[in-house]
Amino acid sequence: MDIKQLLTETIAKAAREAMAAGAFRADELPPVMLEVPPQKEFGDYATNFAMQAARAAKTNPRVIAQAIVDRIQAPWLEKAVIAGPGFINFYLKPGWLYDLLQRILAAGENYGNTDYGRGRRVQVEFVSANPTGPLHVGHGRGAAVGSALVNLLRAAGYDVEAEFYINDAGSQIDHLAASVNARYLELLGQPVEFPEDGYRGRDIIDTAQRIIDREGARYLLVSPAERLAVFKELALSEKLAALREDLEAFGVTFDVWFSERTLHQTGAIAATCELLKKSGDIYEQDGALWLRSTAYGDDKDRVVIRDNGVPTYLAADIAYHRNKFERGFDTVINIWGADHHGYIARVKAAIAALGYDPARLEVLILQMVSLYQNGELVKMSKRTGQGVTLAELIEEVGRDAARFFFIMRSADSQLDFDLDLAKSRTNENPVYYIQYAHARIASIFRQAEEAGIAVRPEEWTEDKLACLTAETEIDLIKKLGEYPDEITAAARERAPHRIARYVHDLAGLFHAFYNQCRIIGVEPALQNARLGLVTAVQRVLRHALSILGVTAPEKM
């Protein structure tokens, strides 16, 4: 049992004893929540338990706090102090730190992993961009955040499946085919009017040119309908392959690529609509079929089958989410762009109509990304004159910087991406700062090896580690001890940016330690203990960076 869990149980036990003695009464006590105080003078841990319990007990929180403090006796506790309106600050004896570091080192590369989500299946669907052109920087943020969330949830013990929903049915694919067809005809000198809803990117011209390079003008000899049908499949296949390639280059892979077409081909959309008709949740009006979504909290009912018999996007999404829950996921998480915020209520309404708890669908909304260079907003690619693609961004700043910058802010906040900062090799660049800490530790071990110094893990015991008494050493050990709780909290909140913040703080504490404490060449026992400490720091840096999908270099 770690010290935090032990302290939590000790506080709860003291509260029960205080109630039994008549110090206060409550039908039900709140859970004990501990936090690390923002300032060291307030102790190692603090709780607002007395203030929370005061509501149920209708008692002054300081009275409750005093009753708890009076009943806590623990050999590892230096003192407990009541502060403010009823906070309790706990000061632990130094020995617990060395036991903590010993356990961190014993856990090896797995330190940080928790079982918080054990037994729960989660699906995370993200990016799901239309396969009609290259990914842009907004897709990049979704890709980085989504893949980091998948890694984070796995570290917290969840059984996670990452999924990409391929929008390969509907009007956007028809527009893609028409666009390629128009460029094909143009390149062959044929008169053509470019479709109003067509895609005008350079990649469409390139696709048409590749068709000509392979097949020449042979498609001029077939009917327009046949040519469009062929171009639809050729373009879709090419765009999807390019999309996969861009994502893999960004360190993003998926367990499942789910085709929207299969919902149409298998009759899943029709079957789902029929199911909802039988339950009375779909009705007919003006020749169309409507979902009675207002019965489940939406602001108006929604068309699912148009009066011409063509399903809406919502119809496919209802069938898709039914499919997700039929696959046995306890929770499904969708990561959508800011323009989809208004879509949440209707999808949750549909899930409720299907008989599932809508709370099992969680939607994370990503806010917009703005690129800045030389202090000015970058709207267009210098190369193409169009929006900046993810591939161009990676080429400009590198994969690691792009991923970290996308993740380091909460997904629901606007992100201003500073291209100059992301490329800089200075401490102001957060990803460089963190990677440099890892590389510095690798350099320490190379120096030790060159000096013939043997690292002795068998001596990383509580008594041998007790020589780590410098303030920067104590700060590092405490920060390392917070890591599993940070994993759990970040997973619970679906907030991978917390890991980015944590690992940046850890790197800062390491750099302070490195600048103040010599490691190689000091007294052998202290040298070995410090090598143990930096071993633990290096492992946690590497573990956290792996969650973020960022490399941990040995040299820089």
Distances (CA, A) of 483 to 146, 359, 361: 21, 28, 28
Residue 68 lies in a domain: yes
Residue 98 lies in a domain: no
Gap between the terminal Cα atoms of the chain: 39
3-class DSSP string for 394-448:
HHHHCHHHHHHHHHCCCCCCCEEEEHHHHHCCCCCCHHHHHHHHHHHHHHHHHHH
177 and 87 inside one domain: no
Tell me which amino acid residue 466 is.
Answer: A
Specify the number of domains making up the chain: 3
437 and 542 inside one domain: yes
Q: Which residue, 287, 277, 177, 189, is CA-closest to 232?
A: 177
Residue 448 lies in a domain: yes
Q: Which of 225, 243, 261 is the last residue of a domain?
A: 243
541 and 436 inside one domain: yes
DSSP 136: B
CATH number, domain with residue 460: 1.10.730.10
User: Could you identify the residue written with the tokens 């390969």?
Assistant: 168
DSSP E strands, 325-413: 331-337, 361-366, 369-373, 376-378
DSSP string, 169-232: SSHHHHHHHHHHHHHHHHHTT---PPPTT----HHHHHHHHHHHHHHTTGGGGS-HHHHHHHHH
- Per-position b or e across 391-401, b if 16+ CB within 10 A of its CB: bbbbebbebbb
Contact in structure between 187 and 218 (CB atoms under 8 Å): no
Residue 256 lies in a domain: no
For residues 275 and 265, give the distance between their C-alpha atoms in angstroms, rounded to a whole number.
18
The structure tokens listed for 203 are 């990649």
438 and 540 inside one domain: yes
Contact in structure between 257 and 166 (CB atoms under 8 Å): yes
pLDDT of residue 316: 97
The partner residues of 336 in beta bridges, in order of sequence, read 365
Write out residues in the chain with pLDDT < 70, as ranges.
Answer: 1, 382-385
Contact in structure between 148 and 496 (CB atoms under 8 Å): yes
Residue 23 lies in a domain: yes
The partner residues of 284 in beta bridges, in order of sequence, read 289
For residues 91 and 297, give the distance between their C-alpha atoms in angstroms, rounded to a whole number.
49
**Contacts of the segment 53-58: beta carbons below 8 A, 24+ positions apart:** 53/15, 53/24, 53/26, 53/29, 54/86, 56/26, 56/27, 56/28, 56/29, 56/30, 57/24, 57/25, 57/26
Residue 236 lies in a domain: yes
Residue 186 lies in a domain: yes
Q: Which of 58, 75, 93 is the last residue of a domain?
A: 93
**C-beta atoms surrounding 365 within 10 Å:** 15
Contact in structure between 540 and 506 (CB atoms under 8 Å): yes
pLDDT of residue 382: 63
Residue 100 lies in a domain: no
Pairing mode, if any, of strands 288-291 and 302-305? antiparallel
The structure tokens listed for 303 are 């068309």
pTM: 0.92
pLDDT of residue 82: 96
87 and 190 inside one domain: no
Q: Which of 191, 218, 243 is the last residue of a domain?
A: 243
CATH number, domain with residue 62: 3.30.1360.70
The structure tokens listed for 24 are 């206060």
Which residues constitute the domain of residue 487? 427-548
**Contacts of the segment 440-449: beta carbons below 8 A, 24+ positions apart:** 440/510, 440/511, 440/514, 441/510, 441/534, 441/535, 441/537, 441/538, 441/541, 442/538, 442/553, 442/554, 442/555, 443/555, 444/519, 444/520, 444/531, 444/534, 445/531, 447/520, 448/520, 448/531
pLDDT of residue 483: 97
88 and 191 inside one domain: no
For residues 465 and 469, give the distance between their C-alpha atoms in angstroms, rounded to a whole number.
9
Sign of the torsion formed by the C-alpha atoms of 466, 470, 476 and 478: positive
